[in-house]
Amino acid sequence: MLTLTAEVDLERENLALREELRRARAELRRVDQLKRDFISVAAHELRNPLAILLGYTRILENESTGSIRDRAETVALNALRLKNLIDVIVTLQQLDSGELALRFEPIQVASIVEDAVESRQREITDKSLQVESQVNEELFVRGDRERLGIILANILANAIKYSPRGEQISVHAASESSRVILGVRDCGPGIPPEEQPRIFDRFYQVGDPHARRQNGLGLGLAVSKALVELHGGRIWVESVPNQGSTFNVSLPRIAPNGQGTLGSLSGSVIF
């Protein structure tokens, strides 16, 4: 049985603890807000000069030949890598803070595939890769163009990164009842079955974390998964070690006029 003084002391201690907790929460919110503000300002300040850099190097690429053109392409490629990295960090921040707003519109799947492949052309050529694309122009999804671009850029960048020189990457899309299944297949090292569920976790990279044979932050697939799910879709990998990997994205399909669903379609283009 507690005495009155002991009860009062306990109550006072409880009050002090609650106050401490309240202050800690407020401090956490303040630090979180600072972090958000910093990422948003830093991203804005980095994105603008980067866009100018990318624009001018594209002009330089088109207007030059020989070694000058090669150098302009290298600058453009590295600026694009930076842009993709900033996109991933900003998207992650927006996801965490609930600030990510998708701008849905009818999107032609072939057009996002074409844009993604075109922007990676330099790396594809450097590694003598061949990208074969089988995407029918009649396939449409309802999505956010910029965010679908980020998803595909991440998957394609990995396929390029992990493909041995001279190999083939195939991008295919087909309709399955009311969905579009978009797949990117590479002939890379593949991913062991026990690692496959973990590659969609933040910062996860397959293999020895100290070896870091390939660069990257281990964020691309985590962001892609979150974005696919916001589109009402699903992402998964099919892979056998030493036999390559196929990353699949399934998205709800719409008709080319922006409504309803259609039957099975396929088509073929070689990049």
Q: Nearest approach, Cβ of 1 to ligand ADP (angstroms)?
A: 59
Q: Which string of x and - marks every residue 105-134 that binds ligand ADP (by CB under 6 A)? A: ------------------------------
**Residue that the structure tokens 């595939």 belong to:** 113
Identify whether the C-beta of residue 128 lies closer than 8 Å to the C-beta of residue 165: yes
Q: Is 216 in the site for ligand ADP (CB under 6 A)?
A: yes
Chain residues 152-211 in contact with ligand ADP, contact rule CB under 6 A: 154, 158-159, 162, 186, 188-189, 191, 199, 204-206
Q: Least CB distance from residue 239 to ligand ADP, whole Å? A: 7
Q: Which residues contact 47 (CB under 8 A, 6 or more apart)?
A: 83, 86
Write the Ramachandran bin of 253: left for phi over 0, alpha for psi from -120 to 50, otherwise beta. beta
- Considering the complex, state which of residue 204 and residue 236 has its C-beta at the smaller distance from ligand ADP: 204
In the complex with ligand ADP, the residue whose CB is nearer, 73 or 186, is 186
Asked whether position 91 contacts ligand ADP by CB under 6 A, the answer is no
Q: Which is nearer to ligand ADP, 191 or 254 (CB)?
A: 191
- Report residue 260 as tokens: 């309803």
- C-beta separation of 157 from 84 below 8 A: yes
Residue 152 beta carbon to ligand ADP: minimum distance, rounded to whole angstroms = 12
CB within 8 A of 182, min separation 6: which ones? Answer: 109, 113, 135, 152, 171, 172, 173, 248, 249, 250, 251
CB atoms inside a 10 Å sphere around CB 226: 20
Q: Which is nearer to ligand ADP, 119 or 158 (CB)?
A: 158
* Number of neighbours of residue 6 by Cβ within 10 angstroms: 10
Give the shortest CB-191-to-ligand ADP separation in angstroms.
5
Residue that is written with structure tokens 């492949």 in the block: 117
> Of residues 219, 226, 235, 254, which one binds ligand ADP by CB under 6 A?
219
Tell me the DSSP string of 41-104: HHHHHHHHHHHHHHHHHHHHHHH--HHHHHHHHHHHHHHHHHHHHHHHHHHHHHHHHT------
Size of the site for ligand ADP (CB under 6 A): 20
Closest distance to ligand ADP from the beta carbon of 237 (Å): 8
Please tell me whether residue 85 binds ligand ADP under the rule CB under 6 A: no
Q: Which is nearer to ligand ADP, 50 or 217 (CB)?
A: 217
**Which residue's CB atom is positioned nearest to ligand ADP?**
216
- Tell which one of 91, 119, 133, 245 touches ligand ADP (CB under 6 A): 245
Residues that bind ligand ADP (CB under 6 A): 154, 158-159, 162, 186, 188-189, 191, 199, 204-206, 216-222, 245
